[in-house]
Structure 1
Amino acid sequence: MLTKTGRPFDKGALYRLLNNRTYLGEVSHKGKVYPGEHRAIVLRELWDRVHAILQESPRVRANQNRRQTPALLRGLIFGPDGRAMSPTHTRRRGRLYRYYVSQAVLKGTADDCPVRRLPAAEIEAAVIDQVRALLRQPEVVVGTWRAARAEAPDLTEAETLATLERLDPLWDELFPAEQARIVRLLVERVEVSPSGADIRLRLEGLASLVRDLAGIGAETRRAA
């Protein structure tokens, strides 16, 4: 998503949007706020609730987001035995440690299990890095474009490539819940083994994301 000036819509742009009192029907001038002549489009109650959250420290909000966001690879990551690995966590000395654990470990039959436990943060970061690399592969771009044309026949291969390239630098600006939504949209399955992780993408999910982002980009250009 781009702002009206053509820049990526990052957290800074979001915070400026959330602090724009124009939506309350007010006008700011030289540090003072006055009633505007236009109607409010945001309820005062909603504004107050949002700003109560914004007054919390970024660290507190980040911890709350992590607690409320489901494990990024829940239901998507599978061990060498073909069974799903379950997210779990433990807390030591006030720190939270997250893992994905094989079903064999959970059932006490892990004697011959080659992959018993994986640090969640490490495997999630590795999967995200691989996904971002795959999105740049020509065969993935072409496959996504062909899948997206079913509902967006005017979409070009160049537009598909540009949209996928735009997603990469935006990733780190997304909130954890939005990252989880996109991962579930794009990733069909992650199979881990002692030699690494194999990721299977969902081209129909990629196509849906490209159609959404391309539509947003077109609307932004028209508004500008």
Structure 2
Amino acid sequence: MSRRKLSDGAMPPSVKKLRCAVYTRKSTDEGLDKEFNTLDAQREACEAFIASQRAEGWVLVHDRYDDGGVSGGTLDRPALKRLLADIEAGLVDVVVVYKIDRLSRSLMDFARLVQTFDQHEVTFVSVTQSFNTTTSMGRLTLNILLSFAQFEREVIGERVRDKIAASRARGMWMGGPVPLGYRVEHRRLVVDEAGAATVRRVFEGFAELGSATRLLPILRAEGLVTKTGRPFDKGAVYKLLVNRTYLGEAVHKGKSYPGEHAAIIPRDLWDRVHAILAESPRARAAKSRQRAPALLRGLLFGPDGRAMSPTHTRKKGRLYRYYVSQAVLQGAPNDAPYRRLPAGEIEGLVMTQIRALLCQPEVVVGTWRAARAEAPDLTEAEVREALGRLDPLWDELFPGEQERIVRLLVERVTVTEGGAEIRLNLGGLAGLARDMAAQQPREAIAA
């Protein structure tokens, strides 16, 4: 009897109508973009089987329950959830699949599904594996088939894990987030010089300062960002510092192997950084507080645009402080006229210029306008008076307080042949002026 004749009403009136839902699944996305893919092939076979059972009252439910690119080891699948919801709503009588493992590869998960089917009197049918879940022998056959399906899934998982472990042991890149300083070409990590320069700067800055807290404002002042384009925070700094990929190594489950990619960080710099990290945070903070003061740390740049970092040496018990170009610290050739500057001289020069700038009318007006955003009642005279009071107080401040105020006032200092170009931070100036004006009685200013 042809399918057309059946659809024309050949079904005996006494046969109960059974609504059949077809469920299909594929573990990966590969090939799903084709016009006729494996999900379509599964569905076509299931629909043909349902048509062959037309005389038994089987009728196809036209809703599609297709899960593409979803593992059979989980029940968290969109189409399966919809199917279970329709079963609970009483809309399905028979679930048809091409093969048992399309529904699940987990014996425990399948037991839960069969329990749901039984509760709602739903029959489960596999087109390529003939059995009946309503009999004890059918359930035994089902459990045996599922045991082999789960075993196959676990073996495949073990093979994949073993392959990854063997590939990592050979130093191969096996995917995942690409670290800052690298890019992927032909499934291999290749050094990206722009990002690599940032990585080196973080390592060198931490080795010099011994503190991520003190390093962060420097990184932000230099405009350095993470792989995602965000400013560095302490978590991002420490995550970068412990990544052995930068040593040219491949890591798998805590073990390191020589990698196929080039290193960004030399071993001696890595060892210096990790000697610091091995100390307790409290000990590192104490050492950081004992370091020589550096008013322009993170603010001073040479004519070539590269940062100049503070350093010091002791001779016969005397401390000598300098600001040194990053090109010198990295051993790169540098023709800039200012490779090393005496710290006292450049700091004195900058402070002299700052004191002069604070008296200029345009700076006072700009600071006043910026301060009015949070203090509308603040007058220009109060701002002028507050900035003027800073000059005689400067020499009485502790070095730490001087450094804090400089960071509030200054955004960047660039060394030039004519001296130093200073870019003031009007927002910081405004905050300082508001604080100082709040401490000064208004009657004294009015007088």
Q: TM-score range by the shorter chain?
A: 0.5 to 0.7
Shift of 1:219: 9.1
Say which of 113, 118, 124 aligns to 2:347. Answer: 124
Q: Report if the CA contact (8 A) 1:114-1:193 is conserved.
A: no
Shift of 1:106: 1.2
Structure number, greater radius of gyration: 2
The match for 1:152 is: 375
Say which of 92, 109, 112 aligns to 2:315. Answer: 92
Q: Report if the CA contact (8 A) 1:110-1:116 is conserved.
A: no
In the alignment, residue 439 of structure 2 is paired with which amino acid? I
Q: Report if the CA contact (8 A) 2:292-2:312 is conserved.
A: no
| 1:173 and 2:396 are equivalent in the alignment | yes
**Aligned residues: CA RMSD:** 2.3
| 1:215 and 2:438 are equivalent in the alignment | yes
Say which of 378, 395, 420 aligns to 1:197. Answer: 420
Shift of 1:94: 1.3
Which deviates more from structure 2 when the two are superposed, residues 103-112 or residues 165-174? 103-112
Give the Cα separation in 2 of the matches to 1:122 and 1:107. Answer: 24
Q: Report if the CA contact (8 A) 1:76-1:189 is conserved.
A: yes
Q: Report if the CA contact (8 A) 2:367-2:429 is conserved.
A: yes
| 1:73 and 2:73 are equivalent in the alignment | no
- 1:101 aligned counterpart, secondary structure: strand
Give the Cα separation in 1 of the matches to 2:407 and 2:326. Answer: 21
**CA deviation profile, 1:53-99 (whole Å, cap 9, x unmatched):** xxxxxxxxxxxxx9456411110000111111011111112111000
Shift of 1:196: 1.4
Normalising by structure 2, report the TM-score: 0.34
* Cα distance change, pair 191–139 in 1 and its aligned pair in 2 (3 A): same
* Equivalent residue pairs, number: 158
**CA deviation profile, 1:132-173 (whole Å, cap 9, x unmatched):** 110000000000000001111111111111111111111111
- 1:189 aligned counterpart, secondary structure: strand
Q: Report if the CA contact (8 A) 1:171-1:179 is conserved.
A: yes
Instruction: Among all aligned residue pairs of Structure 1 and Structure 2, give the percentage whose two residues are the same amino acid.
Output: 72
The equivalences for 1:107-146 within 5 A come to 107-146=330-369
Normalising by structure 1, report the TM-score: 0.66
**CA deviation profile, 1:7-31 (whole Å, cap 9, x unmatched):** xxxxxxxxxxxxxxxxxxxxxxxxx
In the alignment, residue 182 of structure 1 is paired with which amino acid? I
Which 5+ residue runs of structure 2 have no aligned equivalent?
1-288
Shift of 1:193: 2.1
- 1:141 aligned counterpart, secondary structure: helix
Give the Cα separation in 2 of the matches to 1:194 and 1:110. Answer: 20
Q: Report if the CA contact (8 A) 1:89-1:97 is conserved.
A: yes
The match for 2:407 is: 184
Q: Report if the CA contact (8 A) 1:145-1:160 is conserved.
A: yes
* Cα distance change, pair 220–92 in 1 and its aligned pair in 2 (3 A): farther
Shift of 1:109: 2.5
Q: Report if the CA contact (8 A) 2:308-2:325 is conserved.
A: yes
Give the Cα separation in 2 of the matches to 1:69 and 1:206. Answer: 26
- 2:367 aligned counterpart, secondary structure: helix
